[in-house]
Chains A and B, each alone.
Chain A
Amino acid sequence: MRSVAVIGIGKTTFGAFADRDLRSLAVEAVENALRDAAVGPKQVEAFYLGNFAGPSFVGQNHLAPYVGMAAAFQGIPCTRFEDACASSGSAFFHAWQSVAAGIYDVVVAAGVEKMTSQSTPRVAEILAGAGDMAGEGRAGATFPALFAMIARRHMHEFGTTREQLAAVAVKNHANGAKNPLAHMRKVITLQQALAGKPIAEPLTVYDCSLISDGAAAVVIVPLEQAAHYQARYAKVLAVTQTSDHVALDHKADITYFPAVKAAGEKAYQLAGLGPKQIDVAELHDCFTIAEIIASEDLGFTAKGQGGPFAASGATAIGGQIPINTSGGLKSKGHPVGATGVGQICDIVMQLRGDAGERQVARHRIGLTQNLGGSGATCVVTILEAA
């Protein structure tokens, strides 16, 4: 297997864009990534596109060639990957495999979602399709409801508090307010977060990520060719993808995500390092409780201690392990199919030292964790600065 490097990153702003369609967002991200990599579209040998629900959100299927041809790719394999909110994490994993295996040299992995053309109740219904529609979905489980039930059990077993959940939202909004590409650039207070409109108890609107439009893309090549394109490439030390039950009621213990724990452990093993060596991380905070649990599953803190850990400031910029310096899904936005590759772009930006006022002091090694559904898919990457 060959080592792989990320040589180009490109994102759109995440937000609600009434005048933009799915394809134009995806093409913008791809063109930004190609420009950053100094690669032309004719050089790209394969295109891996993550998208969760284009057919439901905008009525368009066959999305990868639909985007690929508009990006001026030349008849190359263009394939869509769907693993719920980990769709583009999965696209990246498969893109990485093809380069690592020696099949292609220049590959683009991207993600896109166009969500805001539907009403919020309809979005909730479409997102619920990432769960088990014959069981929990039929009973009336939305994604906020599933994560609310996870939060309640975590609170019951470990004493996690509403204030600790809210601390995650406050921290991520503080970071996102400084991110020019974030959807909601707004600082919030703990009081505001606690007094938010209830969505699924104990979660308020401030515990939930945003419904967003947006796209993200990266260009990857074999490590030995990276410097030819881009001096500031990032080496892919590890990328792992794991799976678990789609239905929450099939899991023995819902206070952790077995798929996250397994993806993390395998990634640390491949990279030859542990959680203490990670300088900065983007974790999948689709809900505040998800960031708390992921911080435990990835070994940044002990099981059950994610709440106090978040409230202590350890995960803020300047803390022991800065988490979601981009603002996370909470503030940056969560166009679900774009999130996994978007996280990789955000970490590469930190590794390059390009994160401006959000820049962390130590930025040699970064980690991303992208979660699908209530934990049925997880993709973890570990990246190292050139």
Chain B
Amino acid sequence: MGRDGVVYTETVVHAAPEQYAADAPYQLAIIELDGGGRITARILDRSEIGERVRFLEERNGVAYYQK
């Protein structure tokens, strides 16, 4: 799948912006997509640089991934 990929970098956000305060802490990552290009997305189950992640769904314009 073109939307799956590999974690290029990641962080766990503790101090969230106002609109996402209820989500914190959440993992944010830049994912290198199999189909080319990169996307900034959320990962639901804590992955590290170099790990493969699967595209799960898009909610309110944000892509969610998991292992």
If A139-B63, A141-B28 touch, whether A249 touches B16 (CB-CB below 8 Å) is no
Asked whether A139 lies within 8 Å of B8 as measured between CB atoms, the reply is no
Asked whether B15 lies within 8 Å of A200 as measured between CB atoms, the reply is yes
Contact of B10 among A124, A138, A149 (CB under 8 A): A149
CA distance in complex: A50, B64 (Å): 38
Q: Digit string of B31-50 for contact with A (CB within 8 Å is 1, else 0)?
A: 00000001111100000011
Determine if B2 is an interface residue (Cβ-Cβ < 8 Å): no
CA distance in complex: A304, B20 (Å): 34
| Interface residues of chain A: helix, strand, loop or mixed (majority) | helix
If A136-B40, A139-B40, A139-B62 touch, whether A149 touches B30 (CB-CB below 8 Å) is yes
Asked whether A249 lies within 8 Å of B38 as measured between CB atoms, the reply is yes
Which residues on A sit within 8 Å (CB–CB) of B13? 140-142, 144-145, 148, 200
CA distance in complex: A135, B38 (Å): 11
Determine if A28 is an interface residue (Cβ-Cβ < 8 Å): no
Asked whether B15 lies within 8 Å of A248 as measured between CB atoms, the reply is no
Determine if A355 is an interface residue (Cβ-Cβ < 8 Å): no
Asked whether B14 lies within 8 Å of A128 as measured between CB atoms, the reply is no
Which residues on A sit within 8 Å (CB–CB) of B8? 153
Contact of B28 among A124, A139, A247 (CB under 8 A): A139
CB closest residue in chain A, given B23 = A140
Which residues on B sit within 8 Å (CB–CB) of A136? 40
CB closest residue in chain B, given A154 = B9
CA distance in complex: A144, B14 (Å): 10
Asked whether A142 lies within 8 Å of B17 as measured between CB atoms, the reply is yes
Asked whether B11 lies within 8 Å of A148 as measured between CB atoms, the reply is yes
Which residues on B sit within 8 Å (CB–CB) of A247? 40
If A145-B11, A201-B11, A249-B40 touch, whether A140 touches B16 (CB-CB below 8 Å) is yes
Contact of A140 among B10, B38, B42 (CB under 8 A): B42
The interface centre, meaning the residue of B10, B14, B40, B63 with most chain A CB atoms within 10 A of its CB, is B40
Which residues on B sit within 8 Å (CB–CB) of A139? 28, 40-42, 62-63
CA distance in complex: A203, B14 (Å): 10
CA distance in complex: A148, B19 (Å): 20
Determine if B12 is an interface residue (Cβ-Cβ < 8 Å): yes
CB closest residue in chain A, given B39 = A249
Determine if A122 is an interface residue (Cβ-Cβ < 8 Å): yes
The interface centre, meaning the residue of B16, B61, B63 with most chain A CB atoms within 10 A of its CB, is B16
Determine if A198 is an interface residue (Cβ-Cβ < 8 Å): yes
Asked whether A140 lies within 8 Å of B28 as measured between CB atoms, the reply is yes
**B14 vs chain A, min Cβ distance (A):** 5
**B46 vs chain A, min Cβ distance (A):** 10
Contact of B30 among A144, A201, A248 (CB under 8 A): A248
Asked whether B9 lies within 8 Å of A124 as measured between CB atoms, the reply is no
Contact of B16 among A121, A148, A156, A254 (CB under 8 A): A121
Which residues on B sit within 8 Å (CB–CB) of A138? 60-62
CB closest residue in chain B, given A132 = B40
Asked whether B10 lies within 8 Å of A122 as measured between CB atoms, the reply is no
CB closest residue in chain B, given A149 = B9
Which residues on B sit within 8 Å (CB–CB) of A197? 14
Q: Known pairs A122-B18, A153-B9, A201-B14. 11 more at Cβ < 8 A?
A: A121-B17, A121-B18, A140-B20, A140-B26, A148-B11, A152-B49, A153-B8, A199-B15, A200-B12, A249-B40, A254-B30
| Interchain residue pairs with CB less than 8 A apart (20) | A120-B15, A121-B17, A139-B40, A140-B20, A142-B15, A142-B16, A144-B15, A148-B13, A149-B9, A149-B28, A149-B30, A152-B9, A197-B14, A198-B12, A200-B13, A200-B28, A201-B11, A201-B12, A249-B40, A250-B38
Q: Which 7 A-B pairs have the closest CB atoms?
A: A148-B11, A125-B17, A136-B40, A121-B18, A153-B9, A149-B9, A249-B38
Give residues in A with beta carbon < 8 Å to B.
119-122, 124-125, 128, 135-136, 138-142, 144-145, 148-150, 152-153, 156, 197-203, 247-250, 254
